[in-house]
């Protein structure tokens, strides 16, 4: 485990464990052993637990029903097994540089998706109430790119002098407001698709003062490259010309604009 790994793991231990010490003391658990002498008691316990577990089982499977909702990515998403434990740091968290900026740009660039009328309808959306592209298609977005945009925002705020040199305090307040929103976006998404793999802790007194996180668990991940390639192929550049929704143009009696495409 390299030192960066250890740093990360330490950060993952909650503050109250920072005074960690190994306690060799093992509490005797004799209090958990007891005898059930009366078979009458056993029979009613069996019947009772059967009723409770049937109900719990029913509720459990209701909660586990998995019906995947529509996404235009459904035909491109593939899965692979990955180590559940976060691996070595990537370029996205390196110190600011033109290379880092390019990497983030490539990651976030598919943020504007060219959606079709049919895709919007399948996603319960109303095409007539949606901003369009002058060249055709609808201004859409794939969820993860909103989150990645948000994560980059947080990265920028961690490197304030580089990304927001000489900003006014009003601009700073506005930007921090955006970053707080971004934190919430990422939080909600983490809680929606939690990493449920089992992690544990090792303790190496020679090198670490406190236990460090470890895991040999696997986790099912979406194959990022084919997904990202698809999203990129469906994206539009930032300088694309937008056209207001059909409904708005009609309301403003400007539907003739559509004919000018
Ligand atoms: C969006 O895709 C459609 C084809 O589905 C194409 O005709 C249109 O030009 C595209 N729009 C942009 C802005 O690339
Ligand atoms: C920020 O301010 C310093 C000195 O006040 C100036 O030298 C520098 O060019 C400014 N940077 C930007 C990006 O405006
Ligand atoms: C958008 O930018 C690209 C290059 O990045 C350029 O080729 C294209 O002409 C631009 N389109 C508009 C509408 O400005």
pLDDT tens-digit series, residues 165-177: 999 999 999 999 9
Instruction: For residue 155, count CB atoms less than 10 angstroms from its CB and return exposed for 0-12, middle for 13-18, buried for 19 or more.
Output: middle
Q: Is the CB of 133 under 6 A from ligand 1?
A: yes
Identify the pLDDT of residue 88.
86
Q: Is the CB of 117 under 6 A from ligand 1?
A: no
Question: What is the dihedral sign for C-alpha 142, 144, 148, 151?
Answer: positive
Ligand located closest to 243 CA: 1
Could you tell me the two tokens for 228? 């990202």
Ligand located closest to 163 CA: 2
Centre of ligand 1 to C-alpha 140, Å, is: 12
Cα separation values, 65 from 57, 167, 189, Å: 12, 50, 20
Identify the pLDDT of residue 43.
54
- 13-22, 61-70, 157-166, 206-215: the lowest-pLDDT one: 13-22
What residues line ligand 2, using a CB cutoff of 6 Å?
165-166
Centre of ligand 2 to C-alpha 167, Å, is: 10
In the predicted model, what is the mean pLDDT of residues 5-11?
A: 47
Residue 67 pLDDT class (50, 70, 90 cuts)? confident
**pLDDT exceeds cutoff 50 at 27:** no
Residue 46 pLDDT class (50, 70, 90 cuts)? low
Enter the pTM of the model. Answer: 0.76
Identify the pLDDT of residue 144.
97
**pLDDT exceeds cutoff 60 at 185:** yes
Distance CA 105, CA 129 (A): 29
């Amino acid at each position: 485990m390299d030192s960066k790994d250890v740093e990360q793991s330490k950060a993952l231990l909650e503050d109250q464990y920072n005074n960690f010490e190994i306690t060799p003391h093992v509490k005797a658990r004799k209090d958990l052993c007891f005898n059930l002498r009366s078979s009458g008691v056993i029979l009613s316990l069996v019947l009772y637990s059967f009723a409770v577990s049937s109900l719990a089982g029913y509720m459990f499977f209701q909660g586990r029903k998995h019906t995947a909702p529509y996404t235009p990515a459904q035909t491109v998403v593939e899965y692979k097994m990955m180590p559940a434990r976060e691996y070595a740091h990537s370029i996205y968290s390196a110190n600011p540089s033109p290379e880092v900026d390019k990497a983030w740009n490539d990651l976030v660039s598919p943020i504007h998706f060219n959606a079709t009328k049919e895709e919007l309808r399948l996603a319960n959306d109303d095409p007539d109430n949606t901003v369009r592209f002058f060249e055709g298609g609808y201004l859409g977005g794939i969820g993860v790119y909103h989150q990645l945009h948000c994560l980059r925002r947080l990265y920028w705020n961690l490197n304030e002098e580089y990304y927001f040199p000489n900003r006014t305090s009003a601009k700073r307040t506005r930007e921090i407001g955006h970053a707080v929103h971004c934190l919430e976006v990422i939080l909600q998404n983490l809680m929606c698709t939690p990493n449920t793999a089992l992690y544990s802790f090792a303790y190496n007194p020679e090198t670490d003062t406190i236990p460090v996180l470890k895991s040999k668990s696997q986790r099912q991940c979406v194959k990022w490259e084919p997904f990202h390639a698809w999203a990129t192929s469906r994206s539009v550049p930032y300088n694309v010309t937008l056209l207001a929704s059909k409904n708005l143009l009609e309301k403003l009696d400007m539907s003739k604009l559509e004919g000018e495409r």
